[in-house]
Amino acid sequence: MIVVPFDTRKQLNDHQKMEQILAFADEMDRVPHLLLHSCCAPCSSHVISVLSKHFDITVLYYNPNIEPYEEYLKRKEEEIRFIGLYPAAHKLDIMDCEYDNDRFHELVKGMEDLPEGGERCFVCYAQRLEKTAATAAKEGYDFFATTLSVSPYKNSAKLNEIGNALSAKYDIAYLIADFKKKNGYKHSIEMSAEYDLYRQDYCGCVYSKRDSNCYKCRQMSEKMQMSQTDIICANVTG
């Protein structure tokens, strides 16, 4: 396994650690191979723009959490389209794999009502990262990583904790990152507009879709109440 020697003279945050890994990758005598888990084209846009200067990248599309199946296919097709369009400095391609949705539901059983960002999401991160680490080790990649930390709704510290544990388990280097730093999320929105990428309005699982729909309903009902209040006020003052 490749071991990146971090500068231990100061306390490094996750973004600084990533910068040291990228500098290490640039010093290697060949372009290193990275297996990059991606959840969707918009999140991968910024991450690929950063990493493709340093690595040959294969994107692993393993997202058994996404439902319904039509939505999973739509996001996957958009990922394939983006990869075909992006002018990467090095090799960039995609590896497809099984949907595994039953396994996702087994793993999150009993956590269906937890809010987004809680324990259910940590299990969801771990399922996707474990597949990535195991595949990267089996296929002889140098590093594995995920795009997930670009989202402000994802817990980067937890993602990196899981990634580091899997790195030890599968004996493969993990690319520590917090891609939302340095305006990463904003850049992903800009790139989504530039490449006209489909941006979904819920995270992926049926529970996040349910919660997103509830939020939209609440907003609509608040708006309707406000406009009724406006009408009443107009009648009173008119």
**How far apart are CB 66 and ligand SF4 at their closest, in Å?**
7
Whose Cβ is closer to ligand SF4: residue 58's or residue 127's?
Answer: 127
Interacting residue ranges for ligand SF4, rule: CB under 6 A:
65, 116, 120-121, 124, 203-205, 207-208
φ, ψ (nearest 5 deg) of residue 104: -60, -45
**How far apart are CB 154 and ligand SF4 at their closest, in Å?**
7
Whose Cβ is closer to ligand SF4: residue 86's or residue 122's?
Answer: 122
Give whole-number Cα distances, 167 to 15, 85, 171, in Å.
18, 31, 5
DSSP 54-92: T-EEEEEE--TT--SHHHHHHHHHHHHHHHHH---SS-E
CA 9 to chain centre: 31
Whose Cβ is closer to ligand SF4: residue 94's or residue 205's?
Answer: 205
Whose Cβ is closer to ligand SF4: residue 112's or residue 171's?
Answer: 112
Contact 188, 82 (CB under 8 A): no
Contact 176, 70 (CB under 8 A): no
Whose Cβ is closer to ligand SF4: residue 6's or residue 122's?
Answer: 122
Structure tokens given for 165: 């544990």
**How far apart are CB 108 and ligand SF4 at their closest, in Å?**
6
Instruction: Give the dihedral of Cα atoms 134, 136, 140, 144; nearest 10 deg.
Output: -130
Whose Cβ is closer to ligand SF4: residue 80's or residue 206's?
Answer: 206
Contact 179, 47 (CB under 8 A): yes
**How far apart are CB 64 and ligand SF4 at their closest, in Å?**
10
Q: Where are the alpha helices (DSSP H) in the chain?
A: 14-27, 41-51, 69-85, 101-107, 119-139, 156-170, 184-194, 206-237
**How far apart are CB 86 and ligand SF4 at their closest, in Å?**
24
Give the DSSP letter of residue 142. S
**How far apart are CB 117 and ligand SF4 at their closest, in Å?**
7
